Amino acid sequence: MLTRTALSLALGALMSLSAWAQEAVPAPEVANFTLDNGLEVVVIPDRRAPIVTHMVWYKIGSADEPAGKSGIAHFLEHLMFKGTEKHPAGEMDSVIAEIGGYTNAFTSKDVTVYHQTVPPDYLDEMMDFEADRMRGLVLPEEVIAAERDVILEERNQRIEGSPQALLGEETAATLYQNHPYRIPTIGWMHEMEQLSREDALDFYHRFYAPNNAVLVVAGDVEPEAVRKLAEETYGKVERGPDLPPRVRPAEPRYDTARTVTLSDPRVGVPSFSTAWVTPSYRMAEPGEAEALDLLAEILGGGSRSRFYQEIVVKTGIASGVGASYDGGAYDPGSFTLYGMPQGERTLEEVQEAVSREVTRLIEDGVTAEELDAAKMRFVRGLIFARDEQSNMANIYGSRLANGGTVADISEWPDRIRAVTPEQVQAVAAKYLDPKIAVTGYLLPSENGAQ
């Protein structure tokens, strides 16, 4: 199943760690090791409940697809449930349903992930299932057409049926001029229709291997017991071919402001979003990504943000307004501002008000008190994120699968504490240049909703 939240997982993972920045709550004692076949393993003990989350993160996503084969990563995700010689299709789902567990999968631009939540006694069985299909997938020709119809219908429902999703696709295709992030994870319809068994198997054999994956186990477990189980299951899987570094096409220099407009009778209230390509945590200069996160919080991170106080509360121009930073991507991320009018106010008024606040911050900066308050809101808004076991598994899986390390995670609190007002002002001036922004407009059709 494709999840449109996958790109935000990496960002959310990094953000949720800010709960450790100013609260006296210790980080978990994480074990990290690598099997002989190259599989990296992370174990996060959490003994508050007798459950365990088991996740396999493949370092492969839609941005790694061959040209003309958009959607193949997501298509293969579906096909991975078709079984192996040892475990026929449906067996894993049946076992998990019988024990009251949960299983699913998702594909993003950078990763493909398979996960289960089960009682600890069944962890060895989940490892056996996942290790077996890591290299042993069986794909009879007769399952291909039916599953291709499934993903085509998924696109119809998720994308074609949503004006917001359609505009999002077109905006991304305009924002990224050369990088494959411009291509939708689910794929372009005309290319999805041509995906074949050979396409899926080629992608599978190339990228699905222990040395291109991260195993994360979080829950009521002991690290040494997990190591033993991992060696007995995943450790028997043959190492795959060594893969070259993940070097995708780079973006050119931006010279123009661009707009994308979609008018649709299904739209009731107009809205806009303005976006810029910005460095991700992996690519940013020291301190920049943290400053961008706090810039988003100060501008539009909630009810205490500048946007909300000035544009919603004081002037009543907007009914909704905000800012977000996607810093969890493997390659360049993005920074986005968005808003919609209230009552008789116009979209132009909202956009002008947002621009004024950005200009004011760039020219006047932020105070130390405002930044401290933003850090506190940032922490308190996410303090409970790590209380969910699956969130902790996502934190580590997303970071490690996108080029990070366990040390990056443990050092996060110190980095967020170190951000200065000057750094926030500097990243705003450096990246939020209206002359190179991409703005998307979602508008009602002239004849209104039908």
| DSSP result, 1-31 | ---TTHHHHHHHHHHHTTHHHHS--PPP--E
3-state SS class at 292: helix
Helix (H) or strand (E) holding 170: helix 163-175
Q: Which residues are within 8 A (CB) of 33 and not within 5 positions of it... i.e. 6 or more apart?
A: 40, 41, 227
Contact 71, 196 (CB under 8 A): no
Tell me the sheet residues that pair with 256. Answer: none
| Distance in angstroms (rounded) separating the CA atoms of residues 391 and 420 | 28
DSSP state of 189: H
Would you state the structure tokens that stand for residue 144, as one six-digit string? 């291909």
Q: Is the pLDDT of residue 5 over 70?
A: no
Element (H, E) at 53: strand 52-58
**pLDDT of 29:** 85
For position 384, what pLDDT does the model report? Answer: 62
Question: Could you tell me the pTM of the whole model?
Answer: 0.91
Q: Which domains occur in the chain, in start order?
A: 6-236 (3.30.830.10), 258-444 (3.30.830.10)
Mean pLDDT computed over 37-66: 96
Q: What is the pLDDT of residues 311-356, one digit of tens each?
A: 999 999 999 999 999 999 999 999 999 999 999 999 999 999 999 9
Write out the two tokens for 375: 């850090």
CA dist 200 and 104 (Å) reads: 19
77: annotated active-site residue: yes
Active-site residue (options: 40, 65, 77, 288) = 77
Per-residue pLDDT, 28: 61
Cβ contact 226:217 at 8 Å = yes
Instruction: Give, in order, the Cα–Cα distances in Å from 121 to each of 106, 125, 261.
Output: 25, 8, 53
Q: What is the pLDDT of residue 226?
A: 98
Tell me the pLDDT tens digit for each residue of 224-280.
999 999 999 999 999 999 999 999 999 999 999 999 999 999 999 999 999 999 999
Average pLDDT over every residue of 349-378 = 94
The band of 388, judged by pLDDT with boundaries at 50, 70 and 90, is confident
d(CA 313, CA 335): 24
CA distance 347 to 344: 10
Give the pLDDT confidence score for residue 389 in this predicted structure. Answer: 84
Which pLDDT belongs to residue 410? 80
Note the pLDDT tens digit of each residue in 179-212.
999 999 999 999 999 999 999 999 999 999 999 9
Token pair listed for 256: 């123009």
pLDDT attached to residue 20: 38
